[in-house]
Chain A
């Protein structure tokens, strides 16, 4: 039987890829955002030790109106240019998709009443959010991925309605994974608080400019991280709608709710690998390791 070995809150600031200078990315940096990059390195090392078969990523930068979409072709390659930070992120990607699992998730979603679509256009460009989170978790790109779009129901209706929709998608994802026989890692590609500066420093990686947008955001972020550390998923989800409103949080797009639902609302402590800001937004790399929690 397949299983979710871990879920990761895996934010996608392109700055982190930029600062790492991988061969795929054209712009080059001297340094920057080390706290978050080291957090990713630590998390990656532990996760790859567990030999996952698939990474599943839910990104807010693949936005869809009609239902939830999944990639339905085995391979995609191309150039991803960040529409907001093109000077930092121009990344040549070449990735493999676990189409069977994608189709299975679409099928399970339909079975429980969700609108699901399979994206089968080979010219489709993968969004930079998915690429960034996947790169930071596995820069070798030697493990296939599943990309799930971000349906904008929270923006159409309310945070609460959107959350309920994501719970269902999480449920569908879990069922599909269990039937697949594969060892899967979920990546919720979201930052936490998302108010940000509207100007940039001349040198993007100049860390003397980097700090939280304001203290209120920081307090909210710490409250959320504290609940994660305590394994209080339900309480976390209870305050999530207010957190979204108070901090314009990117989790509004639903990735965190999807992941916690798929993990079965974990009551074991999450591990905070690190927290840092990117142009004023709050970002944390947080791991819920279901497999290790079960061993304990």
Chain B
């Protein structure tokens, strides 16, 4: 795909059973066969680079990048040694890790490009490479998974990968080596009777697969924490966050689930995500702005899916913006819970126009000023800025217009106002006129109201509203 930092992404299981002992279990054998389909696809894509993120390569001090051009070893897995050996000799791209580590360093993380004979490559990456790139037709790149990292850090690590790939300018596919549920049977089992360790894990795996098949990577990323809690996802499903960061945090994919089978009780799947729009790298500033907007877990999308069997909070609200729905220049700028309207008057201090908390919207005090103007409707000032005369009717109408603008920028409306606090600088003189104008709009809405007199307001205005509304 033209102008896309990756051609396709895959999520694969890296358990050695699939490669070393397919004959022992129908499920392992099925995965072994399905892996061939992905290999053929990658060969058709003919990338310059396969970028691996494996949950089995754990780091604790920042991030590591494989920098040995030809790592080779006779690997034996620490736990599954009885299955046999994994001798390997890979070809690794040595330019990309330098670019990628530089991008990650700029995020403030410790980084290390490792180029040591005998440095242990993890079983997961080895298994994936053996299946997907058996003849080293394509150069590989590998990044570690920090075992203490959280969601945002992994998203940033993925975003940095996109920037590095864009700088590198090569054709790439991304491979996350990760199981779904990761609850191993802890006793010996008959591999022929291998099954997912619980119905609950199986159900969660299938729900995640359903979403991925629909190409909803961002939605899966939002659900990863809950999935991990419920089904002991592999390393907290960090791999999906990394991939989501790399792929632009969107749902613009066509998904393929090639296979899903149990391996020693865990959920092992082979999944493909084909971008339907080009994936572009985003600058660090752009990513930081979007980061705050991606905090809320999108539980509702899970709950509303057909066949869902778990409860979601009533009216859980998605809080992420897709690329296709990005606001225009004149639209509202939504930074996490803070809301700044492009049409409402500029704040006179360090505060947003409004703040969203769950289903509630809290507006800062709103006066009658207009945006991009020093003129205050209904106020006449002398050369010293002192009030010569003012019209509380005009001011009140302007305040209500501003409130309406902010509410609509946040996705709400005047009809959803629940409570209004009104500040007047001259209760005795202005209350009747203010009250009449107020009633024209708010009588039908029925919001509660409190009106108080204050000595002064920050600008030479006579009226200010403080509003709470529902979304």
A residues near B (Cβ < 8 Å) are 62-67, 69, 79-81, 83-84, 86-87, 90, 115, 117, 119-121, 123-125, 127, 149, 153, 156, 196-200, 279
Contact = CB atoms under 8 A, between A and B. Distances in A.
For B58, B78, B84, B120, which residue has the most chain A Cβ atoms within 10 angstroms?
Answer: B78
A123 B184 contact: no
Listed residue (A67, A115, A117, A124) with the most chain B CB atoms within 10 angstroms of its CB: A124
Nearest 10 Cβ contacts at the A-B interface: A79-B118, A121-B81, A65-B184, A81-B118, A124-B76, A64-B79, A123-B74, A86-B116, A123-B76, A81-B119
B110 interface: yes
Interface in B57-108: 57-62, 74-76, 78-79, 81-82, 84-85
A199 B118 contact: no
A79 B110 contact: no
B79 A63 contact: yes
B62 A198 contact: yes
B296 to A, nearest CB: 28
B110 A124 contact: no
21 contacts: A63-B79, A65-B79, A65-B184, A65-B186, A66-B186, A67-B186, A67-B187, A79-B118, A81-B118, A81-B119, A83-B58, A83-B120, A84-B61, A86-B112, A87-B112, A90-B117, A115-B187, A119-B81, A121-B76, A123-B76, A124-B81
B78 A86 contact: no
B61 A198 contact: yes
B114 interface: yes
Pick from B61, B62, B75 the residue with the most CB of A within 10 Å. B61
A60 to B, nearest CB: 12
B118 A123 contact: no
A63 B78 contact: yes
B408 interface: no
B150 interface: no
B58 A123 contact: no
A115 B62 contact: no
B440 interface: no
Contact of A66 (B84, B112, B116, B187): B187
B188 interface: yes
Contacts of A200: 61, 110
Contacts of A80: 118
Interface size class of B (residues with CB under 8 A): 20 to 34
Given A81-B119, A153-B186, 7 more contacts: A65-B184, A65-B264, A84-B60, A117-B82, A121-B81, A123-B74, A149-B78
A156 B265 CA distance: 13
B185 A66 contact: yes
Contacts of A62: 78
B187 A127 contact: no
Contacts of B75: 125
Contacts of B81: 69, 119, 121, 124
A151 to B, nearest CB: 8
Nearest to A118: B82
A196 B61 CA distance: 9
B188 A115 contact: yes
Is chain A's binding surface mostly helix, strand, loop or mixed? loop
B20 to A, nearest CB: 12
A133 B100 CA distance: 35
A84 B110 CA distance: 12
A121 B58 contact: no
Nearest to A80: B118
A117 B148 CA distance: 30
B73 to A, nearest CB: 8
B444 to A, nearest CB: 57
A90 B116 contact: yes
Given A63-B79, A119-B81, A123-B74, A199 B116 contact: no
A67 B78 CA distance: 12
A136 B319 CA distance: 54
Nearest to A119: B81
Nearest to A199: B110
B117 A79 contact: yes
Interface string B136-159: 000000000000100000000000
Contacts of B120: 81, 83, 125
A134 to B, nearest CB: 17
Contacts of B112: 86-87
Contacts of B187: 66-67, 115
Nearest to A149: B78
B119 A123 contact: no
Nearest to A122: B76
A69 B80 CA distance: 11
Contacts of A120: 82
Interface in B34-61: 57-61
Among A86, A90, A156: residue with most chain B CB under 10 A = A86
Contact of A86 (B82, B85, B114, B183): B114
B120 to A, nearest CB: 5
A66 B168 CA distance: 43
Interface in B183-213: 183-188
Interface in B409-437: none
A267 B326 CA distance: 68
A66 B78 contact: no
A124 B81 CA distance: 7
Contacts of A279: 61
Given A63-B79, A64-B78, A65-B79, A81 B116 contact: yes
A173 B201 CA distance: 36
Contacts of B119: 81, 83, 86
B262 to A, nearest CB: 14
B18 to A, nearest CB: 16
A233 B84 CA distance: 41
